[in-house]
Amino acid sequence: MSIAVRKELPGISTLVIKIGSRILSTDGHQQRLARLAEDIAALHKAAIRTVIVSSGAIAHGMAALELTRRPSLIPLQQACASIGQHRLMHRYEHFFSRHNIPIGQVLLTWDDLRSKKRYLNLRNTLFQLLDHRCIPIVNENDSVGVEEIQFGNNDMLGAQVALLVHADLFVNLTDVGGLYDRNPHGDASAKHIPVVTAMSAAIRKMAADVRKEISVGGMATKLKAAEIVTRAGITALIGDGFDQRLGDVLLKPEAATLFLPEQRKMSSRHRWIAFTGHSDGVLTIDDGAGTALLKGGKSLLPAGVREVSGTFKPGDTVAIRTLGGTTIARGLVNYGSEEINTIKRCKSSEISEKLGVKRFDEVVHRNNLVLL
Ligand code: GLU
Protein backbone atom coordinates (compact mmCIF):
# COMPACT_ATOMS: atom_id res chain seq x y z
CA MET A 1 0.00 0.00 0.00
CA SER A 2 1.39 3.39 -0.83
CA ILE A 3 0.57 6.75 0.71
CA ALA A 4 -0.13 9.81 -1.45
CA VAL A 5 2.24 12.64 -0.53
CA ARG A 6 3.42 15.96 -1.96
CA LYS A 7 5.69 15.54 -4.96
CA GLU A 8 8.62 17.28 -3.26
CA LEU A 9 8.69 14.75 -0.41
CA PRO A 10 11.36 12.04 -0.41
CA GLY A 11 10.58 8.33 -0.21
CA ILE A 12 9.67 7.87 3.45
CA SER A 13 10.82 4.88 5.39
CA THR A 14 11.26 6.58 8.77
CA LEU A 15 9.09 9.44 9.94
CA VAL A 16 9.14 11.53 13.12
CA ILE A 17 5.92 13.34 13.97
CA LYS A 18 5.87 15.96 16.71
CA ILE A 19 2.39 16.67 18.05
CA GLY A 20 1.82 19.97 19.84
CA SER A 21 -0.01 20.40 23.17
CA ARG A 22 -3.04 22.25 21.78
CA ILE A 23 -3.87 19.38 19.45
CA LEU A 24 -3.77 16.93 22.34
CA SER A 25 -5.44 18.85 25.11
CA THR A 26 -8.00 21.44 24.03
CA ASP A 27 -11.68 20.74 23.20
CA GLY A 28 -12.04 17.95 20.67
CA HIS A 29 -8.67 16.37 21.50
CA GLN A 30 -10.14 12.87 21.76
CA GLN A 31 -11.42 13.02 18.17
CA ARG A 32 -8.17 14.55 16.94
CA LEU A 33 -6.11 11.82 18.59
CA ALA A 34 -8.44 9.10 17.27
CA ARG A 35 -7.97 10.48 13.72
CA LEU A 36 -4.23 10.79 14.15
CA ALA A 37 -3.96 7.21 15.38
CA GLU A 38 -5.99 6.10 12.35
CA ASP A 39 -3.75 8.02 9.94
CA ILE A 40 -0.54 6.85 11.63
CA ALA A 41 -1.88 3.27 11.53
CA ALA A 42 -2.26 3.67 7.74
CA LEU A 43 1.40 4.74 7.49
CA HIS A 44 2.35 1.83 9.70
CA LYS A 45 0.54 -0.54 7.35
CA ALA A 46 2.50 0.96 4.48
CA ALA A 47 5.69 -0.08 6.37
CA ILE A 48 6.64 3.48 7.33
CA ARG A 49 8.46 3.44 10.67
CA THR A 50 7.01 6.19 12.82
CA VAL A 51 8.21 7.85 16.02
CA ILE A 52 5.87 10.25 17.80
CA VAL A 53 7.23 13.13 19.85
CA SER A 54 4.30 14.14 21.99
CA SER A 55 3.69 17.24 24.05
CA GLY A 56 0.64 17.50 26.25
CA ALA A 57 1.81 16.04 29.58
CA ILE A 58 1.75 19.37 31.39
CA ALA A 59 -1.54 20.34 29.74
CA HIS A 60 -3.19 17.07 30.87
CA GLY A 61 -1.84 17.59 34.39
CA MET A 62 -3.16 21.16 34.38
CA ALA A 63 -6.61 19.84 33.46
CA ALA A 64 -6.44 17.30 36.28
CA LEU A 65 -5.55 20.03 38.78
CA GLU A 66 -8.11 22.38 37.23
CA LEU A 67 -5.48 24.97 36.38
CA THR A 68 -6.48 27.21 33.48
CA ARG A 69 -3.07 28.85 32.98
CA ARG A 70 0.26 27.12 32.57
CA PRO A 71 1.94 27.53 35.97
CA SER A 72 5.06 29.65 36.00
CA LEU A 73 6.52 27.72 38.96
CA ILE A 74 8.79 24.98 37.59
CA PRO A 75 8.02 22.45 40.39
CA LEU A 76 4.30 22.85 39.70
CA GLN A 77 4.87 22.33 35.97
CA GLN A 78 6.85 19.21 36.87
CA ALA A 79 4.05 17.98 39.10
CA CYS A 80 1.58 18.59 36.26
CA ALA A 81 3.80 16.61 33.88
CA SER A 82 3.95 13.75 36.36
CA ILE A 83 0.16 13.65 36.57
CA GLY A 84 -0.40 14.28 32.88
CA GLN A 85 2.21 12.03 31.24
CA HIS A 86 0.56 8.73 32.10
CA ARG A 87 -2.90 10.13 31.32
CA LEU A 88 -1.55 11.08 27.92
CA MET A 89 -0.03 7.63 27.39
CA HIS A 90 -3.30 6.07 28.45
CA ARG A 91 -5.00 7.96 25.60
CA TYR A 92 -2.38 6.82 23.08
CA GLU A 93 -2.74 3.25 24.33
CA HIS A 94 -6.49 3.46 23.93
CA PHE A 95 -6.40 4.73 20.34
CA PHE A 96 -3.46 2.67 19.05
CA SER A 97 -4.77 -0.57 20.55
CA ARG A 98 -7.74 -0.18 18.18
CA HIS A 99 -5.22 -0.75 15.40
CA ASN A 100 -3.26 -3.42 17.27
CA ILE A 101 -0.16 -1.29 17.39
CA PRO A 102 1.98 -1.50 20.55
CA ILE A 103 3.42 1.77 21.81
CA GLY A 104 6.51 2.42 23.96
CA GLN A 105 7.13 5.39 26.20
CA VAL A 106 10.53 7.15 26.11
CA LEU A 107 11.18 10.19 28.33
CA LEU A 108 14.33 12.24 27.73
CA THR A 109 16.40 15.16 28.93
CA TRP A 110 19.30 16.86 27.14
CA ASP A 111 21.71 14.93 29.39
CA ASP A 112 20.52 11.70 27.81
CA LEU A 113 21.43 12.94 24.34
CA ARG A 114 24.66 14.73 25.22
CA SER A 115 26.21 11.67 26.79
CA LYS A 116 27.54 9.62 23.85
CA LYS A 117 26.91 6.39 25.74
CA ARG A 118 23.29 7.16 26.60
CA TYR A 119 22.73 8.50 23.09
CA LEU A 120 23.78 5.18 21.62
CA ASN A 121 21.70 3.23 24.15
CA LEU A 122 18.70 5.33 23.29
CA ARG A 123 19.24 4.77 19.59
CA ASN A 124 19.35 1.03 20.17
CA THR A 125 16.09 1.16 22.12
CA LEU A 126 14.30 3.20 19.48
CA PHE A 127 15.51 0.93 16.69
CA GLN A 128 14.43 -2.16 18.64
CA LEU A 129 10.97 -0.67 19.13
CA LEU A 130 10.73 0.18 15.43
CA ASP A 131 12.08 -3.22 14.36
CA HIS A 132 9.33 -4.80 16.45
CA ARG A 133 6.72 -2.64 14.75
CA CYS A 134 6.01 -0.57 17.84
CA ILE A 135 5.50 3.18 17.86
CA PRO A 136 7.85 4.93 20.28
CA ILE A 137 6.20 7.91 21.96
CA VAL A 138 8.82 10.35 23.17
CA ASN A 139 8.41 13.31 25.48
CA GLU A 140 10.67 15.48 27.55
CA ASN A 141 11.17 14.04 31.03
CA ASP A 142 9.59 17.13 32.53
CA SER A 143 9.42 15.85 36.09
CA VAL A 144 13.23 15.71 36.37
CA GLY A 145 14.03 18.45 33.88
CA VAL A 146 15.51 21.47 35.60
CA GLU A 147 16.47 24.36 33.37
CA GLU A 148 19.91 23.29 32.23
CA ILE A 149 18.77 19.83 31.10
CA GLN A 150 15.36 20.84 29.72
CA PHE A 151 14.79 21.04 25.99
CA GLY A 152 12.51 23.99 26.72
CA ASN A 153 10.06 22.79 24.13
CA ASN A 154 9.35 19.69 22.16
CA ASP A 155 10.24 21.26 18.80
CA MET A 156 13.93 20.86 19.65
CA LEU A 157 13.31 17.40 21.06
CA GLY A 158 11.51 16.43 17.84
CA ALA A 159 14.45 17.63 15.75
CA GLN A 160 16.91 15.69 17.91
CA VAL A 161 14.85 12.51 17.62
CA ALA A 162 14.65 12.96 13.82
CA LEU A 163 18.46 13.23 13.70
CA LEU A 164 18.86 10.26 16.00
CA VAL A 165 16.70 7.81 14.03
CA HIS A 166 17.83 9.14 10.63
CA ALA A 167 14.29 10.10 9.68
CA ASP A 168 13.56 10.93 6.05
CA LEU A 169 10.89 13.37 7.15
CA PHE A 170 10.16 15.40 10.29
CA VAL A 171 6.53 16.53 10.56
CA ASN A 172 5.79 19.18 13.17
CA LEU A 173 2.03 19.28 13.76
CA THR A 174 0.68 22.47 15.24
CA ASP A 175 -2.48 24.58 15.08
CA VAL A 176 -1.66 26.49 11.88
CA GLY A 177 -0.83 25.32 8.38
CA GLY A 178 2.84 26.24 8.68
CA LEU A 179 4.55 29.51 7.96
CA TYR A 180 2.70 32.69 7.00
CA ASP A 181 4.14 36.05 6.05
CA ARG A 182 2.30 37.47 9.10
CA ASN A 183 0.69 35.97 12.18
CA PRO A 184 -2.43 34.25 10.76
CA HIS A 185 -4.16 34.27 14.17
CA GLY A 186 -4.42 38.03 14.15
CA ASP A 187 -4.55 38.80 10.44
CA ALA A 188 -6.85 37.12 7.92
CA SER A 189 -4.88 38.48 4.98
CA ALA A 190 -1.70 36.65 6.06
CA LYS A 191 -0.25 34.72 3.12
CA HIS A 192 0.68 31.04 3.47
CA ILE A 193 4.18 29.94 2.44
CA PRO A 194 3.94 26.43 0.92
CA VAL A 195 7.67 25.75 0.39
CA VAL A 196 10.89 27.10 1.87
CA THR A 197 13.87 26.19 -0.26
CA ALA A 198 16.47 27.81 1.99
CA MET A 199 16.39 29.53 5.37
CA SER A 200 16.94 33.27 5.24
CA ALA A 201 16.59 36.30 7.46
CA ALA A 202 13.31 37.12 5.69
CA ILE A 203 11.91 33.67 6.53
CA ARG A 204 12.99 33.96 10.17
CA LYS A 205 11.30 37.34 10.38
CA MET A 206 7.98 35.76 9.42
CA ALA A 207 8.12 33.52 12.43
CA ALA A 208 7.44 36.16 15.07
CA ASP A 209 7.37 34.25 18.31
CA VAL A 210 3.73 34.14 19.36
CA ARG A 211 3.39 32.45 22.72
CA LYS A 212 0.24 30.64 23.74
CA GLU A 213 -1.15 29.81 27.15
CA ILE A 214 -0.67 26.07 26.77
CA SER A 215 2.34 25.30 24.62
CA VAL A 216 5.87 26.57 24.99
CA GLY A 217 7.41 27.16 21.59
CA GLY A 218 6.09 29.57 19.02
CA MET A 219 6.75 29.47 15.27
CA ALA A 220 10.35 30.62 15.84
CA THR A 221 11.32 27.39 17.63
CA LYS A 222 9.52 25.31 14.98
CA LEU A 223 11.56 27.08 12.36
CA LYS A 224 14.77 26.47 14.32
CA ALA A 225 13.90 22.77 14.55
CA ALA A 226 13.23 22.67 10.78
CA GLU A 227 16.55 24.42 10.19
CA ILE A 228 18.50 21.86 12.23
CA VAL A 229 17.01 18.83 10.49
CA THR A 230 17.23 20.27 6.97
CA ARG A 231 20.91 21.09 7.54
CA ALA A 232 21.44 17.42 8.32
CA GLY A 233 19.67 16.40 5.08
CA ILE A 234 16.16 15.69 6.44
CA THR A 235 13.01 17.17 4.86
CA ALA A 236 10.67 18.99 7.28
CA LEU A 237 6.99 19.92 7.29
CA ILE A 238 5.26 22.28 9.69
CA GLY A 239 1.57 21.65 9.29
CA ASP A 240 -1.90 21.97 10.69
CA GLY A 241 -2.66 18.99 12.91
CA PHE A 242 -5.59 20.77 14.46
CA ASP A 243 -8.12 21.07 11.65
CA GLN A 244 -6.44 18.92 9.01
CA ARG A 245 -5.81 15.21 8.83
CA LEU A 246 -2.24 13.96 8.77
CA GLY A 247 -2.81 12.59 5.25
CA ASP A 248 -3.68 16.11 4.08
CA VAL A 249 -0.64 17.62 5.80
CA LEU A 250 1.51 15.18 3.80
CA LEU A 251 -0.37 15.79 0.55
CA LYS A 252 -1.80 19.28 0.33
CA PRO A 253 0.53 22.29 -0.05
CA GLU A 254 -2.02 24.56 1.67
CA ALA A 255 -1.99 22.42 4.83
CA ALA A 256 1.72 22.72 5.59
CA THR A 257 5.00 24.49 4.85
CA LEU A 258 7.63 22.21 3.42
CA PHE A 259 11.33 22.82 4.11
CA LEU A 260 13.65 21.31 1.56
CA PRO A 261 16.79 19.67 2.95
CA GLU A 262 20.36 20.59 2.19
CA GLN A 263 22.01 18.10 -0.09
CA ARG A 264 24.59 16.82 2.36
CA LYS A 265 23.91 13.59 4.21
CA MET A 266 25.64 13.61 7.59
CA SER A 267 26.78 10.50 9.42
CA SER A 268 25.37 9.87 12.92
CA ARG A 269 28.67 10.88 14.41
CA HIS A 270 28.75 14.19 12.56
CA ARG A 271 25.11 14.90 13.45
CA TRP A 272 25.89 14.36 17.09
CA ILE A 273 28.96 16.62 16.94
CA ALA A 274 27.10 19.36 15.04
CA PHE A 275 23.72 19.49 16.70
CA THR A 276 23.52 17.40 19.87
CA GLY A 277 26.74 17.22 21.89
CA HIS A 278 27.35 19.98 24.41
CA SER A 279 30.25 22.41 23.68
CA ASP A 280 32.78 22.07 26.46
CA GLY A 281 34.76 25.08 25.26
CA VAL A 282 35.54 27.44 22.43
CA LEU A 283 38.58 27.76 20.19
CA THR A 284 38.95 31.13 18.50
CA ILE A 285 40.92 30.80 15.28
CA ASP A 286 42.65 33.24 12.93
CA ASP A 287 41.49 34.07 9.42
CA GLY A 288 43.97 31.73 7.72
CA ALA A 289 42.73 28.76 9.73
CA GLY A 290 39.12 29.83 9.04
CA THR A 291 39.75 29.74 5.29
CA ALA A 292 41.56 26.39 5.58
CA LEU A 293 38.55 24.87 7.35
CA LEU A 294 35.83 26.49 5.25
CA LYS A 295 37.40 26.34 1.82
CA GLY A 296 40.30 23.92 1.99
CA GLY A 297 38.61 21.00 3.78
CA LYS A 298 41.56 21.01 6.22
CA SER A 299 42.01 20.02 9.89
CA LEU A 300 42.57 22.63 12.59
CA LEU A 301 46.25 22.91 13.47
CA PRO A 302 47.69 24.57 16.59
CA ALA A 303 49.16 27.41 14.49
CA GLY A 304 45.68 28.74 13.70
CA VAL A 305 44.37 28.80 17.28
CA ARG A 306 44.40 32.24 18.88
CA GLU A 307 42.37 31.73 22.07
CA VAL A 308 41.05 28.89 24.18
CA SER A 309 38.12 29.23 26.54
CA GLY A 310 36.57 26.67 28.82
CA THR A 311 38.14 23.65 30.47
CA PHE A 312 38.05 20.46 28.45
CA LYS A 313 39.94 17.25 27.88
CA PRO A 314 40.89 15.26 24.76
CA GLY A 315 37.75 13.87 23.08
CA ASP A 316 35.50 16.70 24.29
CA THR A 317 33.46 18.86 21.92
CA VAL A 318 34.38 22.46 21.19
CA ALA A 319 32.86 25.25 19.16
CA ILE A 320 35.26 26.80 16.65
CA ARG A 321 34.88 30.54 16.24
CA THR A 322 36.35 33.23 14.00
CA LEU A 323 37.94 36.37 15.40
CA GLY A 324 34.69 38.11 14.47
CA GLY A 325 32.79 35.82 16.87
CA THR A 326 30.97 33.60 14.32
CA THR A 327 30.84 29.91 15.19
CA ILE A 328 31.80 28.15 11.95
CA ALA A 329 32.32 24.57 13.13
CA ARG A 330 32.19 22.12 15.98
CA GLY A 331 34.60 19.31 16.57
CA LEU A 332 36.18 16.82 18.95
CA VAL A 333 39.59 17.94 20.24
CA ASN A 334 42.76 15.84 20.27
CA TYR A 335 44.25 17.88 23.12
CA GLY A 336 42.86 19.30 26.38
CA SER A 337 42.37 23.03 27.00
CA GLU A 338 45.63 23.48 28.97
CA GLU A 339 47.64 21.72 26.28
CA ILE A 340 46.05 23.82 23.51
CA ASN A 341 46.83 26.96 25.47
CA THR A 342 50.49 25.86 25.49
CA ILE A 343 50.68 24.97 21.77
CA LYS A 344 48.40 27.63 20.27
CA ARG A 345 50.04 29.70 17.48
CA CYS A 346 52.81 27.03 17.24
CA LYS A 347 53.79 24.88 14.28
CA SER A 348 52.88 21.20 14.61
CA SER A 349 56.64 20.42 14.56
CA GLU A 350 56.96 22.34 17.83
CA ILE A 351 54.32 20.29 19.72
CA SER A 352 56.70 17.70 21.23
CA GLU A 353 59.08 20.37 22.43
CA LYS A 354 56.25 22.31 24.10
CA LEU A 355 54.32 19.36 25.58
CA GLY A 356 57.09 16.78 25.95
CA VAL A 357 55.15 14.48 23.60
CA LYS A 358 53.26 14.82 20.32
CA ARG A 359 50.16 12.64 20.12
CA PHE A 360 48.66 14.33 17.04
CA ASP A 361 49.56 17.02 14.51
CA GLU A 362 46.06 18.45 14.59
CA VAL A 363 44.10 20.11 17.38
CA VAL A 364 40.87 18.94 15.70
CA HIS A 365 41.13 16.39 12.91
CA ARG A 366 38.95 16.96 9.86
CA ASN A 367 37.13 13.65 10.42
CA ASN A 368 35.98 14.91 13.81
CA LEU A 369 34.92 18.32 12.61
CA VAL A 370 31.63 19.54 11.15
CA LEU A 371 31.18 22.90 9.45
CA LEU A 372 27.99 24.65 10.51
N1 GLU B 1 7.03 18.49 27.37
C2 GLU B 1 5.89 19.36 27.51
C3 GLU B 1 4.63 18.55 27.82
O4 GLU B 1 4.52 17.42 27.46
C5 GLU B 1 5.58 20.16 26.30
C6 GLU B 1 6.58 21.11 25.80
C7 GLU B 1 6.02 21.85 24.55
O8 GLU B 1 4.85 22.25 24.55
O9 GLU B 1 6.74 21.96 23.56
O10 GLU B 1 3.70 19.06 28.37
Interval 157-214: pLDDT, tens: 999 999 999 999 999 999 889 998 877 777 788 899 999 998 888 888 887 644 443 4
Give the per-residue pLDDT at 83: 97
Give the per-residue pLDDT at 208: 64
From 24, 52, 53, 58, the mutation candidate for ligand 1 (largest count of ligand atoms within 8 A of CB) is 58
Provide the whole-model pTM: 0.88
pLDDT tens for 247-269 read: 999 999 999 999 999 887 788 88
Domain ranges for the chain, please list them.
14-268, 279-371
Please indicate whether the domains covering 14-268 and 279-371 agree at the CATH topology level. no
Average pLDDT, the chain: 92
Structure confidence at residue 148 as a pLDDT band (50, 70, 90): low
**Ligand 1 binding pocket, CB closer than 6 Å:** 21, 55-59, 81, 139-140, 142, 153-154, 215-217
From 215, 224, 238, the mutation candidate for ligand 1 (largest count of ligand atoms within 8 A of CB) is 215
What is the fold, at CATH topology level, of the domain defined by 279-371?
2.30.130
Give the per-residue pLDDT at 214: 43
C-alpha angle 225/231/237, rounded to 5°?
Answer: 50
Structure confidence at residue 1 as a pLDDT band (50, 70, 90): low
Give the per-residue pLDDT at 325: 95
Q: Which CATH architecture has domain 14-268?
A: 3-Layer(aba) Sandwich (3.40)
